[in-house]
Amino acid sequence: MGRAKILVVDDESRMRTLVRDFLVKSEYDVLEAEDGRKAVDIFFENKDIALVLLDVMMPNMDGWETLKEIRQYSQVPIIMLTARSEERDELQGFKLGVDEYITKPFSPKILVARVDAVLRRTTSAEKENILECGIIKIDVVAHQVYVEGKPVDLSFKEFELLEYFARNKGIALSREKILNNVWDYDYFGEARTIDTHVKKLRSKLGEKAGDMIKTIWGMGYKFEEN
């Protein structure tokens, strides 16, 4: 993976230089903007920006407007940098979707530590939303499954069943337990509901991926990487 790219937005060139130098020393790539309008242009020209450091008081477009503009299209982590420390400003920032709020003057080392922490949280959350099991990749947020890189069209319940198998990889699961967790109700009838969905799921995944769903005779199923 390449170095994470950070957009620093502040109308004071001295402040941008200070922040940039510390971020570069910490092996981040840095883009700079002197006002909100320029920041928005740079943000949408660069699809791989990992985090935005955003000042509040700026000409042309202030930090609040810039934040609102970016949040219409992206959930990229944003840290607000401001000389204003009023509680209502902080509350407004969090309401608009700010991840962190740092008041000037601040320690550049502390700023870098905050950046590190926010990016760690973001990366961790993204990993939880992507499940990879052998040749199967499950994007939980997009509700999409890929087998050897090719998308597979699953019904809503088939997707939930596969996600449940993937999150319980290597564990023997009874039909009753599967129904209670995937269908969310107690099961008192035949096992056909599970068996029918597993049959369809195996077929759609293809022979190699479908074979990862093992039948445990008289009990249920177990999901294992081949």
The tens-digit pLDDT sequence of the chain (226 residues) is 468 999 999 999 999 999 999 999 999 999 999 999 999 999 999 988 999 999 988 988 999 999 999 998 888 999 998 876 666 777 777 778 888 888 888 898 999 999 999 888 877 666 678 888 999 999 887 889 999 999 999 988 899 999 999 999 999 999 888 888 887 654 454 567 889 999 999 999 999 999 999 999 988 999 998 7
Count of other CB atoms within 10 angstroms of residue 17: 13
Query: CB pairs under 8 A, 24+ apart, for 206-213?
Result: 206/147, 206/152, 208/135, 208/147, 209/134, 209/135, 209/136, 209/147, 209/148, 212/133, 212/134, 212/136, 213/165
Residues 82 and 162: their CA atoms lie apart, in Å, by 46
Which amino acid belongs to residue 153? D
Scanning the structure block, which residue is given the tokens 């092996």?
27
Look up residue 111 and give its amino acid: L
Structural domains in the chain, CATH included, are: 5-128 (3.40.50.2300), 131-223 (1.10.10.10)
